[in-house]
Amino acid sequence: AQSVTQPDIHITVSEGASLELRCNYSYGATPYLFWYVQSPGQGLQLLLKYFSGDTLVQGIKGFEAEFKRSQSSFNLRKPSVHWSDAAEYFCAVGEDSSYKLIFGSGTRLLVRP
């Protein structure tokens, strides 16, 4: 069965510092991979997605993620964090034969001024 692990429950970074949020998945074939962001009390917004091809994908708000098959990872990165990036981030995996996404438990990002 598919699973998604986000090992960091909370991460705190200073504004302007770089960010990397970790995501590991368990899936036999090539998965479809997603990162979503959720501001407090709001729905989820899609940041970026990977289906195939170039393993480095660019998303909105200056985020990028890299698919590493050998490590079963899809880590989210941003070179310089802004205070408005404080939110909860969810990694998700889907597959060709399903309508469903499996979500990780989320990582809450706090940004120090």
Does 25 bind another protein (CB under 8 A)? Our answer is: no
Shortest distance (Å) from residue 18 CB to another protein: 25
Torsion, Cα of 55, 9, 12, 103 (10° steps): 40
Q: How many residues bind another protein (CB under 8 A)?
A: 23
CA pair distance 13, 21, nearest whole angstrom: 11
Does 30 bind another protein (CB under 8 A)? Our answer is: no
Site for another protein in 80-99 (CB under 8 A): 90, 94-96, 98-99
CA pair distance 80, 11, nearest whole angstrom: 15
Does 113 bind another protein (CB under 8 A)? Our answer is: no
Stretch that binds another protein, among 11-19, 34-42, 53-61, 73-81 (CB under 8 A): 34-42
Binding residues for another protein, rule: CB under 8 A, are: 32, 34, 36, 41-46, 49, 51, 90, 94-96, 98-101, 103-106
